[in-house]
A = this chain, B = another copy of it.
Amino acid sequence: MTILVYIKTIKQFYGLYTDQNRTMPKSITRTYSRYTRDATALLGGLIRAARKERKLTAQELADRAGISRGLLQRIEKGDLKCEIGAVFEVATIVGIKLFDADENTLPKYLSQTRDKLTLLPKSVRHKSRVVFDDF
């Protein structure tokens, strides 16, 4: 007697597994405002322009940032699903100022914001609205 188990890929097994035992969760499609899309596209465009002005190839900049060329392409295109850390790092390398702040003023803004937060209430609490539904 022979038992033949043939699973080509993990994905295949994974798919069988999930389909059999769990309901496939709804794929979450995010919506973004125009402002968000424009801002991300602008940042990507600024990065691309700065890269060319500095005569860096995509591969060179990607290497410096420690990311793949493909990811850099997506960043420059304004892809909304890239890690913010990767995007900001690339921007930093080509010399784009975030929040109009240089390396000296940025920490100051940061501590100012932290100070401000200590003054604000720790948690936001809504006044409990009295409901008159009993009548």
Interface residues of A (CB under 8 A from B): 3, 10, 13-14, 17, 28, 30-36, 38-43, 45-46, 48-49, 51-53, 55-57, 66-67, 80-89, 92-93, 98-101, 103, 106-107, 109-110, 113-114, 116-117, 120-121, 123-124, 126
Determine if A85 and B40 form an interchain contact, defined as CB atoms under 8 angstroms apart. yes
Given contact pairs A31-B66, A32-B85, A51-B124, a sample of 18 additional A-B residue pairs in the complex whose CB atoms are under 8 Å apart: A13-B13, A28-B66, A30-B66, A32-B88, A35-B92, A35-B98, A36-B92, A38-B107, A38-B110, A39-B88, A39-B99, A40-B88, A42-B106, A45-B110, A52-B117, A52-B121, A81-B83, A83-B83
Q: Which residue of B lies closest to A29 (CB)?
A: B66
CB neighbours of A109 from chain B (8 A):
42
CB neighbours of A30 from chain B (8 A):
66-67, 85-86, 89
Cα A110 to Cα B36 in complex, Å, equals 12
Determine if B82 and A83 form an interchain contact, defined as CB atoms under 8 angstroms apart. yes
Determine if B113 and A46 form an interchain contact, defined as CB atoms under 8 angstroms apart. yes
Cα A58 to Cα B28 in complex, Å, equals 20
Copies in the complex: 2
Cα A3 to Cα B82 in complex, Å, equals 46
Cα A132 to Cα B41 in complex, Å, equals 44
Q: Which residue of B lies closest to A14 (CB)?
A: B10
